[in-house]
Structure 1
Amino acid sequence: MIEKVEPLQKKGTMSTRIVNIIKENLIKGHLKAGDKLPKESELMDILGVSRTPLREAIKVLESIGIVEIRRGEGMFITKENSPGGLNPLIFSLILHRENIHSLIEFRQQFEVLMISILKTKASFNIAKIESVYNSQINRMEKKLTPEELVEIDLEFHYTVMEETENPFVIEIGKTIYEIIKPHMIHFKDKKNIERTLKTHKLYLDVLKGEKEFQPNETARNLIKNNEEMIDFSIKNYR
């Protein structure tokens, strides 16, 4: 059962503090998958908060699959997600989603991690990844909307991610891509189609062993590439 805490101080948003308390209770094992949460009025008393920030926090927890609301029954910790080591990172990514340049840095190190995992696997479907890349060459046309081009762009990254067959990588990766997607409006400049395909070709060449894999250099190049595209979007379309 969730621990009673001292009234929350006004540091950061109150709803964020509430989310962090739920996270800490999951980590400590005070809350487990399938547990029923106290009623709203009881949670307000336990946490020392008002109704509005509590409801905001519950919406966040529900949106990322941590809390499940069942009509007529109450609020529950979902059984599908593990309350162990993975969720705190997912929480952190979401709560700090506005720090876009740090997110880019983390994303590209994460991409290098995926390459490393695939390079150490006995086998993976490189033909599938190459097929997605080749289809992008034909499908990424200038007449498409930026939103359509982003979806095609991410198909490549999702395919690489799925080939790791690592559930931690897949869940974290999906969260990263969903958070960063709204910032990927660089396709408003159609010149970035060529740039994106060049980046994907680098991935493919490294995975095929046609280009030497140097993790630090690869990460630096990818971070620079993505920062320039995001900076372009911020300067020109905001």
Structure 2
Amino acid sequence: MSVPDGSLPPARFSAQNRSRALQADIMELILDRDLKAGDALPTEAELTQALGIGRNTLREALKVLQALGVVEIRHGFGMFVAPANFDALADGLTFRGRLSLRHEGNEALQLVDVRQALEAGLIGEAMDLSTPEHLAEIEGTVQRMEALADSGEGFTEVDQTFHFQLFEPLGNELLLNLMSVFWKVYRKIHLELGEDPLISLVETAAVHRGIFEAVKAGDKDLASERLRRHFDGIRAQLTKLRDAP
């Protein structure tokens, strides 16, 4: 039986649906039993009986869930609910972003949009919780950035520290994990595009100084606007790629 190009035969499609349903069943079992990160899962024998499936089918589903960061399989010890791990998300988004650069760059541009919205949208709340001591730490990071720029050295790690410090007062672990994911993705896309020859290290450091000064002054609108403008360079590069004939 022929099928349209790019589509799956009915049997294959059905098998994929069953596999996804089984993965969902395992996740529901974890939730129903109120397991938390680090807790042991039931044994293979218990899972096969509870789910009404064979051992090989179970193992295939567990491999997928391990890749997704839901379960952790420790050979010789058993299976456990995995701790928070965003590596799979970072890898997937990085691939999609870099792949889009070979075409029109739409997904890469969307990823930059999300990071921009995340930082510019939450900076006001973070500012409300900032203390003079925390602001002093951020200023120290800016000063390190400026010193490195003056000596002609790159400061990628210091740059990352600066952005993380801005939002530390929120105490939101999920936000910091997502920022870490988007930082990794953004950095890969940035390296793929190449450094913008129109922006020097000193200018980049000055942009961060401007963001900090707005935060220190308590001007939420200005801080948000300067964070949005911080992404203008890579946005222009991606837009040019998208609009190229």
Q: Normalised by the size of structure 2, how large is the TM-score?
A: 0.61
- Classify 1:72/1:220 alpha carbon distance in 2 versus 1 (closer, same or farther; 3 Å): same
Alpha-carbon distance between aligned partners in 1 of 2:146 and 2:40, rounded to the nearest angstrom: 48
- Classify 1:94/1:32 alpha carbon distance in 2 versus 1 (closer, same or farther; 3 Å): farther
Q: How does 1:1-238 map to 2 (within 5 A)?
A: 7-9=15-17, 21=24, 25=28, 29=32, 32-33=35-36, 34-36=39-41, 39=44, 45=54, 51=60, 55=63, 58-61=66-69, 66-78=70-82, 80-81=83-84, 95-97=92-94, 98=96, 99-121=107-129, 123=131, 125-140=134-149, 144=153, 149-185=155-191, 186-187=194-195, 189=197, 191-209=199-217, 213-214=221-222, 217-218=225-226, 220-228=228-236
SS of residue paired to 1:32:
coil
SS of residue paired to 1:7:
helix
**1:108–1:219: 8 Å Cα contact kept in structure 2?**
yes
Alpha-carbon distance between aligned partners in 1 of 2:78 and 2:33, rounded to the nearest angstrom: 18
How far 1:54 moved relative to its partner? 6.2
Alpha-carbon distance between aligned partners in 2 of 1:121 and 1:107, rounded to the nearest angstrom: 21
Larger relative contact order (CA 8 Å, sep ≥ 6): 2
Query: What is the aligned residue count?
Result: 209
Greater gyration radius: 2
**1:117–1:164: 8 Å Cα contact kept in structure 2?**
yes
Q: Normalised by the size of structure 1, how large is the TM-score?
A: 0.63
Alpha-carbon distance between aligned partners in 2 of 1:19 and 1:150, rounded to the nearest angstrom: 42
SS of residue paired to 1:68:
strand
How far 1:150 moved relative to its partner? 2.1
SS of residue paired to 2:16:
coil
Alpha-carbon distance between aligned partners in 2 of 1:139 and 1:160, rounded to the nearest angstrom: 20
Unaligned ranges ≥5, structure 2? 1-13, 97-106
**1:68–1:75: 8 Å Cα contact kept in structure 2?**
yes
Alpha-carbon distance between aligned partners in 2 of 1:214 and 1:27, rounded to the nearest angstrom: 45
Q: Which moved more, 1:213-222 or 1:165-174?
A: 213-222
**2:72–2:79: 8 Å Cα contact kept in structure 1?**
yes
Q: Which amino acid aligns with 1:227?
A: R
How far 1:160 moved relative to its partner? 1.9
How far 1:157 moved relative to its partner? 1.2
Alpha-carbon distance between aligned partners in 2 of 1:227 and 1:20, rounded to the nearest angstrom: 38
Unaligned ranges ≥5, structure 1? 1-5, 82-86
How far 1:132 moved relative to its partner? 0.5
How far 1:127 moved relative to its partner? 1.0
SS of residue paired to 1:69:
strand
Alpha-carbon distance between aligned partners in 1 of 2:30 and 2:62, rounded to the nearest angstrom: 20
